[in-house]
Amino acid sequence: MDDHKPAAPAPKRTYETPPAERPITEAEAARAAKLSANEHIKIASGYLRGTLADGLLKHATGAISDDDGQLVKFHGMYLQDDRDLRAERTKKKLEKAFSFMIRLRIAGGVVTPKQWLILDDIARTYANGTLRATTRQTFQYHGVIKSNLKRTMAAIDGALLDTIAACGDVNRNVMSATNPAQTGAHKAAYDLAKGISDGLLPKTNAWREIWLDGERVVGGEDEAVLEPVYGKTYLPRKFKTVVAVPPINEVDIFAHDLGFIAILDKKNKVKGWNVTVGGGMGMTHGETDTFPRTADVMLYCEPADALKVAEAVMTVQRDWGNRKVRKNARLKYTIERYGLKAFREEVERRVGKPLQDPKPFRFEHNGDRYGWVEGEDGRHHLTLYVASGRIKDHEDGPRILSGLRRIAEVHQGDFRLTGNQNVIIANVPADRKAEIDALVEEYGLATGAGALRRNSLACVALPTCGLALAESERYLPSLVGELEESLAAHGLQDDEITIRMTGCPNGCARPFIAEIGLVGRGPERYNLYLGAAFDGSRLGKLYADDVSAGEIRATLDPLFGAYARGRNPGERFGDFLIRAGHVARTVNGPDFHDRTGALIPAA
């Protein structure tokens, strides 16, 4: 297979005509239009209130109603249960072991040492004793029971943080580039992320009323006043925004609905932003009308226009997104349905002027830079590897929770979470590095991790995620150990290869843009995707369907051998697999499901 052979011209696409009206907000009209069930829940919710306040008082159950289970996502939480205990509790005729996952909204993943200490205390007081850094640059708590929800929310509020819009059909936590070497550019990226997060935050007072016993705003039922941007029904589905600074793509910009890529001048100052739209990871097994998609680079805007562009992109999706079929409601399907040209024209109309075409840029990889890095301002920043983002004390291993707590007690800078689930001890003066290093050594925080492990991601999956079909966080470490043995046998132990695993095809750990992607299919069974780009710009392709956990190493080992023997200088694993003809290149979107499987046998 000659991967450099010019591709045949794509057939001309026919796009639908976009809607001209705002979304339906009246119950009767929504029923007549056969909108999805969630649209009816939002319309009837009174701007995300539902019956949550009353449901919290029902102590006979650890759960809440199904409708409130949808609404509570907008407040930053999911109802879950411990699936390891389901069978035993069912046998004893007990209710499931219900608890809540709570996700914070932390734009850019930046917290102060004081905030870190409060969050650590919450984890040990109300949750399961761990903090989990997510793939979206924020924290999650697991295991918070219903009777502790309000106490937990009050403690979070006491840290000057919240969970508003961390989940639900809204603009969720905004991610920002974290590599601190380019100090000025990364400050601009953080400022934009914070501005978008604040500007696109829901305005309803429901969060404070329900969780902090705040007073209801009198006369606040007027939609134009209460939710001038979102309206009564918010967005058709979740909406994820990120800000990247080349050459590092650690936020995985092509995997998200909306992105801003910094265009730098010769002095590393941001002179403008390329805007990406239409990325997204989730799909459903066996349904080819669902697929992951990498974002299109749509246009370039000046810094002064960036916030207007962000709101315009989101409101076009608000008005054009599919509210009848929820599985096809993300922005990626809107772009496929109406076309990028029409979408850009509408964004420019709402911004109020034409915008420029994208500028050239280049990404090198989507991983983190570990160890100490000195910024342009002379401050120092230490990136620590945290396996699957799980901040806890390991028996006979690193005491991550205790160690970072101790560092927070003396640290004078800030902490930054990365999109790869790691932690940066940031803005350390040169004369305080030795103190930080001593604590890192004392608590074992710099425990070495091989090249494959450093480039691994896993979602939580079992036992708490209700969508998980297979293990992920609990299984990936041992699988990586097996694959490290294979790589070493072929002399590849120092090669950087991205590997990501999720328990289901929702793709929270972004497996479809990993060079090795594993997606749960059933208990101890996974779909194996190969051929993605090392910089996160290209999707992988289904190589093997329904592979058992015990077969993964045997499936990959001959491909590692072929890579070791036949790669070109500097060639990445995913690129090699395509060039050598083992797997087809994925162009984008619907093409994800075409030409699947192993194209030639692995020797």
167 is catalytic: no
Does residue 8 lie in a domain region? no
* Mean pLDDT score across all residues of the chain: 95
337 is catalytic: no
DSSP letter (8 states) at residue 162: B
pLDDT value at 2 more than 60: no
Domain boundary residue, one of 449, 475, 501: 449
Q: Are residues 260 and 372 in the same domain?
A: no
Q: Are residues 147 and 226 in the same domain?
A: no
172 is catalytic: yes
Mind listing the pLDDT tens digit for each residue in 413-463?
999 999 999 999 999 999 999 999 999 999 999 977 999 999 999 999 999
Q: Are residues 429 and 314 in the same domain?
A: no
Domain boundary residue, one of 413, 431, 449: 449
Residue 465 annotated as binding site: yes
The pLDDT > 70 percentage for the chain reads 97
Q: Taking Cα atoms as reference points, which of 185, 264, 247, 243 lies closest to residue 534?
A: 247
CATH number at residue 152: 3.90.480.10
What are 365's strand-pairing partners? 248
- When pLDDT is averaged across residues 327-338 and rounded to a whole number, the result is 98
Does residue 88 lie in a domain region? no
Residue 167 annotated as binding site: no
Report the Cα 112 to chain-centroid distance in Å. Answer: 22
Q: Taking Cα atoms as reference points, which of 439, 336, 332 lies closest to residue 382?
A: 439
List Cα–Cα distances, 440 to 156, 456, 477, in angstroms. Answer: 27, 22, 22
Q: Are residues 149 and 225 in the same domain?
A: no
pLDDT band with cut points at 50, 70 and 90 for residue 377: confident
Tell me if 314 sits within 8 A of 200, measured CB to CB: yes
Helix axes 149-158, 113-125, angle to 10 degrees: 170
Domain boundary residue, one of 449, 473, 491: 449
Does residue 75 lie in a domain region? no
Mind listing the pLDDT tens digit for each residue in 69-82?
999 999 999 999 99
List Cα–Cα distances, 147 to 38, 60, 129, 144, 476, in angstroms. Answer: 26, 11, 17, 8, 33
List Cα–Cα distances, 97 to 84, 254, 463, 599, in angstroms. Answer: 9, 37, 11, 46
pLDDT value at 356 more than 70: yes
Whole-number Å distance between alpha carbons of 551 and 448: 27
Q: Are residues 287 and 146 in the same domain?
A: no
238 is catalytic: yes
Mind listing the pLDDT tens digit for each residue in 464-508?
999 999 999 999 999 999 999 999 999 999 999 999 999 999 999
* pLDDT at site 602: 80
Q: Are residues 171 and 275 in the same domain?
A: yes
Residue 504 annotated as binding site: yes
CATH number at residue 541: 3.30.413.10
Q: Are residues 269 and 357 in the same domain?
A: yes
Task: Return all residues near 401 (Cβ < 8 A) that are at least 6 apart.
Answer: 120, 123, 124, 129, 130, 131, 391, 392, 393
Q: Are residues 408 and 440 in the same domain?
A: yes
Q: Are residues 198 and 233 in the same domain?
A: yes
Does residue 61 lie in a domain region? no
Tell me if 181 sits within 8 A of 376, measured CB to CB: yes
- When pLDDT is averaged across residues 310-314 and rounded to a whole number, the result is 98
* pLDDT at site 181: 75
| Catalytic option among 330, 459, 510, 541 | 459
Q: Are residues 398 and 376 in the same domain?
A: yes
504 is catalytic: yes
* pLDDT at site 463: 96
Does residue 98 lie in a domain region? no
Residue 301 annotated as binding site: no
Q: Are residues 445 and 469 in the same domain?
A: no
459 is catalytic: yes
| Catalytic option among 42, 132, 146, 240 | 240
Whole-number Å distance between alpha carbons of 459 and 267: 38
Does residue 598 lie in a domain region? no
| Catalytic option among 504, 510, 538, 567 | 504
Burial (0-12, 13-18, 19+ Cβ within 10 Å), 525: middle
pLDDT value at 180 more than 80: no
pLDDT band with cut points at 50, 70 and 90 for residue 223: low
Tell me if 104 sits within 8 A of 146, measured CB to CB: no
Domain count for the chain, please give it.
3
Q: Are residues 550 and 428 in the same domain?
A: no
Does residue 65 lie in a domain region? no
Does residue 405 lie in a domain region? yes
Map residue 528 onto helix, strand or coil.
strand
Question: Which residues form the domain of 475?
Answer: 453-580
